[in-house]
Amino acid sequence: MNIIKRSGVEVSFDADKIQNAVVKANRTVGEAERLSNYQIEEIVRKVTAKCDEMNRAASVEEIQDMVEEEVMRHSAYKVANHYITYRYKRALVRKANSTDQQILSLIERNNEEVMQENSNKNPIVNSVQRDYMAGAVSKDITNRLLLPQEIVRAHEEGIIHFHDADYYAQHMHNCDLVNLEDMLQNGTVISDTMIEKPHSFSTACNIATQIIAQVASSQYGGQSISLTHLAPFVDVSRKKIRATVIREFEELGFEITEAQREKIVEERLQDEVCKGIQTIQYQVITLMTTNGQAPFLTVFMYLNEAGDDKRLKEDLAMIIEETLRQRIQGVKNETGQWITPAFPKLIYVLEEDNISEGAPYFYLTELAARCTAKRMVPDYISEKIMMQNKVDRNGEGHCYTCMGCRSFLTPYVDPETNRPKYYGRFNQGVVTINLPDVALSSGKDMDKFWEIMDERLALCYQALMCRHNRLKGTISDVAPILWQNGALARLKKGEKIDKLLYGGYSTISLGYAGLYECVYYMTGKSHTDPAAMPFALEVMQHLNDACKAWKEQEHIDFSLYGTPLESTTYKFAKCLQKRFGIVPGVTDRSYITNSYHIHVTEEINAFDKLTIEAKFQALSPGGAISYVEVPDMQNNIPAVLALLRHIYDNIMYAELNTKSDYCQKCGFDGEIRIIEDEHGKLVWQCPNCGNQDQDTMNVARRTCGYIGTQFWNQGRTQEIKDRVLHL
C-alpha cells in the first residue's frame, strides 16, 4: 500500500508515522485529556484499514483528515484541536514555497502525479520539465491572482475542473482547425520569413509540417488539418514531372508514346507523394514543440471535400491511400521494431462512395479497416449522420473534422459571404462540471439535484467567462502564425482578436464528466437501461439549455463538450471519495467515466453500444467520441467493415480500440498486461518474460480519443485494466 506525499512523490505506507503524529499531539494536552495507548493503536488501525479499502494511494491530506475524524470519535477534542492547529501552521509554511517544492520534485523525477499527468509527454526530458516548471508557476499565479477564489476552491475540491490552468496566465486558446488552404495558396510567414505558394507536393508537405509546429507552440490544445488542402499540389507536381520527362527524352533523342510517358510520370508522382506523406508522418512525431511533446495533430481524410473535381478527388484518394499504407507499416522504435505512433491522429470519413462493396472508393475503406486493426487509427466520421447533426442557419448540413481528438465547432455561416466556414476557427477553452458530485450532493432528492445542478452551472459560467475575458483584448502579435499569417486569421499587427471571440466564429466549451455515475446514483441503474435513459437524456438537455441561455446573453458560442478526462478522471474520483466516502457503483473505483460513455465494465455488444451512445453524442455538439473495445482484428477485417457500416448508419463519430504493444527485452508483440505489485500499485508487465520496466516496452492505448504511449496515472490505468471487450 502506498501514499502520495504533498510533493507528488509516491512512497510506501508507514503506519508508524500516523502513530508518531498522534502521540506528539497527545503529549501537548493534560494527562486527564489524553488518549490511552490502546485508543491510539485503535486510531492507527482504523486509518490503516480505511486507506487499504480505497484501492489506490491515499494522499497525506486524506490520511490526516482520517486521523482527525478518529481522534474526534474518541472524544479527545483537545488533542484533535492541537493536531488541527499544527496542520494549519504547517500549511501556512508550505503555502509560502509550495511551487518551489513542486518544481524541485519534478526536476528530480520523483513527482509521481506530474510524471503520469500526460500520456504523450515524457517527463524525463528537459523540454517537458521546462514546460511543467512554467506550468507550475502559471498555476500559482492563476490561483493566487487571476481567478476568483470561489472558482479556485471549486476546482480544488473537484466540483468543477478548470482545464489547462498551466497555460491560463498567458493569452492562449485551446484548439483549432488550421486554414492550411489559405496558407498554402496565398503564402504565409514563419519566423519573419516569407513562405510563398509551393511549386510541388513535397514542398507543400514540408511547409505544412513547419506550420503545424508553429501552431502547436502557440496554443495548448489539438489542431487539425485536411489532406484536401494538400491535394491541389499533386497536379502541380504532375505537370512539373511531365515537363521534366518530356525534356529528358528529347535530350536523349528517344521517342515514347503518350501512354508510356504518362506511366513514367505517374510512377514518379507516386514516389513524390510517398515521400511527402513520409515527411508529414516523421516530422510530426519527431518535432518537439515548446510544450515538450509532438504536435497534437489530427489529419482529416474526406473525399467529398474535393467536390465535383474528378482529378482533385482522384489525387486526394492517392494521398489518403499512401497515408493509410504508411500508418499500417508504423514507425521504428529505438531498437528498430515497427510500432504504433501516437500522432498524427487520422480521421476517415465514411460516405456513399466508399462504404459499400462496388463503390468506387471502397478499396480505401478496406485499407482503413486494415489500418485500424493494426494501428488503432483511423477513427471514423459518418458523413450521413454528421450532416443530420450539424445544420447551419441556412438549413444545410455539413461534414468537417474535429479539432484535436473530439472538440467540434458549431455550424457557422460567414455573415459577409453567406457561406459556411470551418477552417480558421478555434475553441476558447473548457470548464468541466463533475456530474457525480452534483448527484451525491443531492442525496437522491430530485428537486435538490436540479437546484445544485444550476448552482454548479453558474460556477461553470463564471469560470468560462474568465477564460473568455482572458482572451479578450489579446493582440495579434502574441502569435503571428495564428492571428496574422493565416492559420486562423489575417489580422493586422497590433489588432485585437476580439471580433473572433463573438458571434459563433469561435466556441467555448462546457465540459461534463461521469454521466453514468450520476445516473446510477440517482436511479440505481445504468443509463443504458430504458428506465434510466430518460433521466440521462434530461441531464444532457439541461446542460444544452444552459449553453443556449448563455449564448443568447453573451453572443458567444457556448457549446456542450464530452470532456476527454485523462489525469482528471483520477482527480475527480479522489475528490468524490474524500467528500462522500465509498459509494458502491459510484465512488468505489479510482476513476469516473468519460462524458456520456457506457461504463467500461458493462457487458454490451459493440453494435448496441454505438447505437445507444449515438443518442447522447447528438446532445454533445461541442465535441464527443464513442468507442468499442475489440480484440485483435487483423485476421477478421470483414467484422471491422461490418462495424464501419454500422457507424455510417448510426453514429457521427466513433473509433475501435485494439492493443498495440511490444516488449523490447524479449520481442513479445502481444498485449502487455496490467497487474498489481506487492504494494497494490498497478504496473505493466510483459506476460512472456515478466518485464516491468516501462523504459523497455512500447505500449499504445487509446486514452481519451487519442493514443497515449507514455503510460498513465493509477486512475486511468485502472480504467484501462477494467475495460471489457464489446466484440
Q: Which of 96-105, 112-121, 147-156, 426-435 has the lowest mean pLDDT?
A: 112-121
Mind listing the pLDDT tens digit for each residue in 127-147? 667 777 777 778 888 888 899
Span 640-670, pLDDT tens digits: 999 999 999 999 999 999 887 889 999 898 8
Res. 675 pLDDT band, cuts 50 70 90: very high
- Reference 385, options 369, 404, 418, 408; nearest CA is 408
Contacts for 376 with CB less than 8 Å, ≥ 6 apart: 340, 655, 656, 657, 658, 660, 700, 702, 707
pLDDT at 101: 63
Average pLDDT over residues 406-429: 96
Predicted pLDDT at 244: 97
Higher pLDDT, 139 or 365: 365
Tens-place pLDDT, residues 555-598: 999 999 999 877 788 899 999 998 999 999 999 999 999 999 99
Q: What is the mean pLDDT of residues 402-410?
A: 93
Mean pLDDT of the chain: 90
Furthest-apart CA atoms within the chain: distance in Å: 113
Full DSSP string of 308-368: T-HHHHHHHHHHHHHHHHHHHH-EE-TTS-EE----SEEEEEE-TTTSSTTSTTHHHHHHH
pLDDT for residue 717: 86
* pLDDT confidence of residue 718: 86
Q: Is the pLDDT reported for residue 119 higher than 70? A: no
Q: Is the pLDDT of residue 315 over 60?
A: yes
In DSSP notation, 154-203 reads: HHHTTSEEETTGGGTTS----EEE--HHHHHHH-EEETTEEEPPPSSHHH
What's the confidence (pLDDT) of residue 53?
Answer: 82
Q: Which residues pair with 560 in a beta bridge?
A: 510
Residue 70 amino acid letter? E
In tens, the pLDDT along 595-617 reads 999 999 999 999 999 999 999 99
62 pLDDT band, cuts 50/70/90, is: confident
The residues carrying an active-site annotation are: 174-175, 403, 405, 407, 427, 561, 566, 705
DSSP line for 393-419: TTS-B-----BTTTB-PPP-EETTTTE
Give yes or no for residue 93 having a pLDDT over 60: no
- Choose between 262 and 71: higher pLDDT: 262
Q: What is the pLDDT of residue 25?
A: 87
